Structure 1
Amino acid sequence: MKIEKYNRRNNMENIKEKIFKLREKIEKYNYYYYVKNESLISDTEFDLLLKELEKLEGDYPEYKKENTPSENVGSSLKETKFKKIVHKKPMLSLSNSYNIKDVEQFMERVNKNLENEDKKIDYALEVKLDGLSISVIYEKGKLIKAITRGDGEIGEDVTENILEIQTIPKYIKENINIEVRGEVVLPLSNFEKLNKKRLENNEEIFANPRNAASGTLRQLDSNIVKERGLDAYFYFIVDGENYEIKTQEESFRFLNNLGLKTTGICEVLSTVEELDQRIEYWAKKREELDYETDGLVIKVNELELWEEIGYTTKSPRWAIAYKFPAKQVTTILKDVTWQVGRTGKVTPVAELEEVELSGSKVKRASLHNYEEILRKDIRIGDRVFIEKAAEIIPQVVMPVKEVRTGEEKTIVPPEICPVCATKLIKEDGLVDLKCPNLECPAIIQGQIEYFVSRDGMNINGLGSKIIERFLQLGYIKDITDIYNLKEHKEELETLEKLGKKSIENLLNSIEISKERDYSKTLYALGIPYIGKFLGNLLAKESGTIEKLSLMSVDELLEIDGVGDKVAESVYNYFRDEKNKEIIRKLKEYGVNFENKFVEKTDENTKFQGKTFLFTGKLEKFTREEIKEEIEKLGGTNLSGVSKKLDYLIVGKDAGSKLKKAEELGTVKILSEEEFLEIVKG
């Protein structure tokens, strides 16, 4: 019995200690977020800590204290530099959801809170901006006050700084008294310029646009606000019913009519299925916006119902935030490995504690180069922010220096190649370390992987592990040996985890690759500076690789789009004996090195002088396939809608590009089927 009492008492002490430490952590993160304008962890991680505290305090109410962070909106007011102002109506935070089941439960709770549970409810869906919440007061149409959210009850007077944001009008279009709420953000385009400038000035970069916007708005010097180019979007009218507004959708129209900027995104839906569909749409579509969105806001559309549905101590019950998977999270940098690429460039790679980022598990991330490590002062053992560059490659953004323990280790660059042990070099004017040994196995493997890639020779079945295996077994030594693999067919079929069918498919893919367009073959060779665009351009201009190889630097420079570096790179490539031998062997194996459309016909000039762009999800083509088809027929692919655009090919869930094209009125809009009809003539 005594042992049981001891264990129970010991367990309760552990729970009490856990709750205390959780509160301590959350209060620290709140302090840095609201006072220092710095995020020490991502919003998702913070929300998980908060949920854990809420559960523990619910299970053990005897350890719950007053002013617990689980019930209070975070505040910057303890060390504010600005005058404090009480909000006319509290600026509450929103409850968060992370999946459609949470949204469904929210909708069920809304119905339960209404007297008439069977009433059909419409919901307004808006994008959730990741910036700094603001309340702006107009009297007789003139902006007289702007207040931050603060702790929800009391905010900071930042009127002087708000007046420096060009997109917030000093006078609205009606001579009325009104309070409107919105979000101050830093456009992504301005964020990139700001961080580039800070790097040039050896200043610490901002981790994300939200931190930059918050830090900028709370500057004492309003000139800094003007320089950085903040923006603002409004989405809420305090006491909207006073202006005969009945719905959230009408609020958006009213704000626009006053000359106040909104996102323009307020979709009215009524079922969980409709919401799920639009959530999926906006999860992809948000990448086209020039501001950060970390989710969507779902509100009961009818304002009259809000009071009936009610509030918790810190959130309205008539609204919820749906959070997208985090684009930025923190984790521990456990170690650094050095990776050798096809050009010999040696790149540092962060080995991380596994973490979920944008819906996938991440254990490794790019550190770019050693100078970047020094500039950001990244150390082994650091807690670091990571994000996905262009939603594909994880990269380390910056360390969280505030949580360092003193046990972190400085990262030291290697002196010899980690693969072949050759002494590394650093070329003049470049920041990267380089392995100069052209026989380095890592360089050869990188060249082969590049050669067989989808944008190159598009050889299926030759992944990095298979290539590494074939190199070790001696079946391939360079890219030319790929075309000799058929001589080892019987041996390859006996290799573990391959088999007859896999090898047959691989050899078929190798044979098909011989007929790839000359431009693809040119790209696959890996000539420095020659990507897809220049590969296509040089193929068109030269017609054959023989002609290209004989061009002088001056002749190359005459090609529109070719600069000094590219001309010298191409010229030098064809003067190297090893490269000459590779091309000779590839020709012997039957690889195509000529533009089959040199002689122009009516068929292959069908799109001559015409420009194309596609938008939405295509079902009959991949993006690369449709680009190739357009270029093969003499057309040009554009990257955006403009007056220069002739045709817009529209797939499923087309968005802003379609809208812009329709507004221009000069663009011919085609479905995939209509495009195919034109191709077939």
Structure 2
Amino acid sequence: MNLREARRRAQELRDEIWRHRYLYYVLAQPEISDEEYDRLERELAELERRFPELVTPDSPTQRVGHPVSGELPQVEHTRPMLSLENVYSVDELREWEARLVRAAQIDEPEAIEYSCELKIDGVSVAVIWEDGVLARAVSRGDGRVGEDVTAAVRTIRSLPLRLRPPYRNLEARGEIFFPRDGFERLNREREEQGLAPFANPRNAAAGTIRLLDPAEVARRPLDLHFWQAIELDGREPARQSEGLAELRRAGLRTNEHSRLLRGLPRVLEYIETWQERRDSLPYEVDGIVIKVDRRELQQRAGATSKAPRWAVAWKYPAERATTKLLDVKVQVGRTGVLTPVAVLEPVRIAGTTVTRATLHNFDEIERKDIRIGDTVHVEKGGEIIPKVVGPVLSKRPRGARRIRPPRTCPACGEPVIREEGEVALRCINPACPARLREALRHFARRGAMDIEGLGPALIDQLVDRGLVRDVADLYRLREDDLVELERMGRRSAERVLAEIRRSREQPLHRLLFALGIRHVGERAARVLAREFGTLDRLLETVARDDAEERLAALPDIGPETARSVVQFLRSRAGRELVERLRDAGVRLDEPAAAGGEGPLAGRTVVVTGRFERWTRDELKEALARAGARVASSVSRRTDLVAAGQDPGSKLDRARELGVRIIGEAELAELLGETA
């Protein structure tokens, strides 16, 4: 097959794939099997592999791009992305309508048409297409400025990378969410890997779209329903319901249960219907969004600085049931916090069987006078772990036992303490096996040292047999140590040890996060690594009298995190752990590019054509090491286009926009690879 034939066939395949995606995701009327669809995608991927110049930004194969280097860029919304006022009762809803009628000067309230939509429990995003192709996705942020989450959002399979004709330029807003089964599957996988489960689908979605690695996002089953058309080829729809219909025609997915209803009585019927039926849906719904349908009335009603006056969210109450409290178990986290967990007689709440619920802390138990043997109210709102609200005192049996806070750690038997200003009890024994298990799981997790194969079962055996006393001991393990363990043959042991050795090269920001310092999440770890470059420089700052003030002044750090970092790195245990990791050969610095250096730091580079020195992946890795952000398409924000042999349309686009173009020799010189 020559290039001309390949170009024609690739376009046929793209058109066919996009048609079937529209039939499947928008119309729910698939014409072919999943297997037949996969064959089309595989054929297109093979063509693009053989002819890289045929790859286009809107190709179905281009959902997963390259990792974003550094922080997510800030982007201003085209218009404010406001929140909604919440109402919880019929009286509050009627009061909202009365204010609407006054603000918009409506003569016949009973004739108002409302667009009613299920309020999916997810995270909001604005998505923009330019010239028919997906250009940008921006998170809500503070409503005026959000983060550029394009790389993550484009991996969502129900999102079209190009619009259906005749639409060319479009902005829509919608909700990114996890379906129930996908969320449960994700949490099962996290628990198998020794990671903490996400608290609820919304938190999981919010965290996922902020991940810098699109490949990891693509592994998670996110979905997206659009709920508003902002602009359609330079115009705004006259009605909310018309905007939703146009979004569907453009190939975007909207919620199939949205309804246009006249008057508040019918709206209340809709609310009641879905309160009864929402547990049968494949996603979490926490309310109903009610919007005035006509745009003219929306404009007359206006908005406050926080919310539109023409829309409101009816919030459903958290679901509640009663059951018997059988026992209380105390869990020990990696920072030593003791958390009481209620063991319950099984009860159905919100479509799931609940056997455990959080009791928060022992002060709460005492304040509410909760006792073992009580019948208790259990509530499940947005949390994955339900909570015990309180006892049903009228049903308290004789002999109900008071719950006493432990004086010693249930895992190691050492005394527990309560730090000043805290309600939590804490085990401070660094050798506590429960703390060690959680610390090892955290150290090995993705985003930290990413040690594949070091799961909960293996960690339990390592701790129980005394093979590791802290995370640094992982780097002292030998093959003979592992082959003696259950379900661990020689090949498995070799793989785990290879992963542990590989983890020594992880950059500083991953190590700082992996150490499990209180309040230091992935974002704070990146800030510290970027600011100091090496752990030794951070240690020098920590030794200063004004260390806390210096650290607290950094973005995303603050006084609490600064205090934790200083306390950990000044402590004897913290310093000894750092030295043991250093002796084990663990990397204690951040790559130059991640610290803002490198010959192409901060520049956006697009690659087109074939190169003699590098494969496409090798070149992208070299560019990333040099500090460049590698983009998949040419825009006005592109700084350089690296053109090899047989460049594609990206070269033409670069010439149109006046973007600097360099060849292989000049690129090699820039990268310091001229030898």
Which of structures 1 and 2 has the larger relative contact order (alpha carbons within 8 angstroms, sep 6+)?
2
Structure-2-length-normalised TM-score: 0.45
* TM-score (norm: length of structure 1): 0.44
